Amino acid sequence: MILTVTLNTALDITYRVRSLRPHTSHRVSEVTERPGGKGVNVARVLAALGHEVTVTGFTGGATGRVVQERIASVPGVVDALVPITGATRRTIAVVDEQTGDTTQLNEPGPMVTPTEWSAFQEAYEDLLPSASAVALCGSLPPGVPVGAYAGLVRTARTAGVPVLLDTSGEALRRGVAARPDIIKPNADELAELTGSHEPLRATHDARRRGARAVVTSLGPKGLLAASPEGRWRAAPPTVVRGNPTGAGDSAVAGLMSALVEHLPWPDRLTRAVALSAATVSAPVAGEFDRGVYEELLGRVTVTGEASAA
C-alpha cells in the first residue's frame, strides 16, 4: 500500500468558460467537482496505475463529506481521513476555452486545533507499518505547525518507510532538514529554498541541505533529477498544451509508483514526465489521458549519467 498525506484536502471545482475576461459576467459551459488536494490527486493517479493507495489528512464540514463521498467512488483508494470541526476548503479553477489557460483560486483551509493535530499524528503512525512508501503533499492548513512535515518525515524514516515531500516555503525548508528520500519542488520553489535560480546548482544545494534525491519540475520542459545514483534530465518530445492543473501531482504519482516497483531513475523520470504531459492534455483537470501517456512512454528523452560505483 502507498500512503498519501494531504493535510489541506479540498473539493476541486472546475468551471469552463468560452473566454475569461475581467470585470464581466460569464456563462459557464461545464462544471466538474472532484476530491482534491495534492496527495488526493496523487492517490487517484496511483490507483489508475493499479496500485493500492490509502489517503489520509483532514476532512470536515459539508465540503469534507462531499470529498469523502467522491473518494469512496474511486476504485483502489482507501479513505483514512481524520475528521475535524472546521470545513474542508474548496479550490476553483476557471478554464478559458479559447486560450486553454487556467485561473486558480485556492481557499486557505480550515483551522486545525492541537487536539486534532495530535489525532492525525496517531493515525499516521498507525498507517505507516502497512505502507511501502509515503508521499507528503501540499500546503499546511491554519493551526498545523510549520515544522509538521519535518516531524512526519522523521516518523516515516524511523518506521523504515521511504518518503517523498512535495511542498513549498518554510514547510519545505524545515522538511528538507529531516532528510526525506525525495523532494519534488518546481523551479520557483527550489530557488526559494536554495537562493539559486540555476536549477542544476540549486538541485545539488537542496541535496546538501538534507534531501537524498531532488526532482525538480521545469514545467513543459520536463524534470531534472539529482540523486546518489546520478543526475538526469527528462523531457517530453513536444510541448503539450492544455490545462496544467494536477500535472505536478501526476509526476509525483509516477515517481512513487516507480519507487515501489524498484525501477531505475531514468525509468522513474520517463514515467513521471509521460504522466505529467498526459495530465496537461486531459479534458478534466487532475486526470490523465491514458492513450497520450502510453504513447509518450516511448518518446520521453532522458539524458544524464549514473554516478561512478
**Catalytic site positions:** 249
* Contact of 137 with 248, CB cutoff 8 Å: no
Which residues are CB-neighbours of 118 under 8 A, at least 6 positions away?
none
The grid cell for 193 is 529554498
SS3 255: helix
* Contact of 146 with 171, CB cutoff 8 Å: yes
Secondary structure letter of residue 94 according to DSSP: E
DSSP codes, 219-248: GGG-EEEEETTEEEEEE-SSPPPS--TTHH
Reading phi first (left if > 0) and then psi (alpha if -120 to 50, else beta), residue 68 is in alpha
d(CA 46, CA 6): 15
The grid cell for 227 is 540523486
Residue 118: Cβ within 10 Å count: 10
d(CA 27, CA 100): 16
- 10 Å CB burial of residue 51 (0-12, 13-18, 19+) is buried
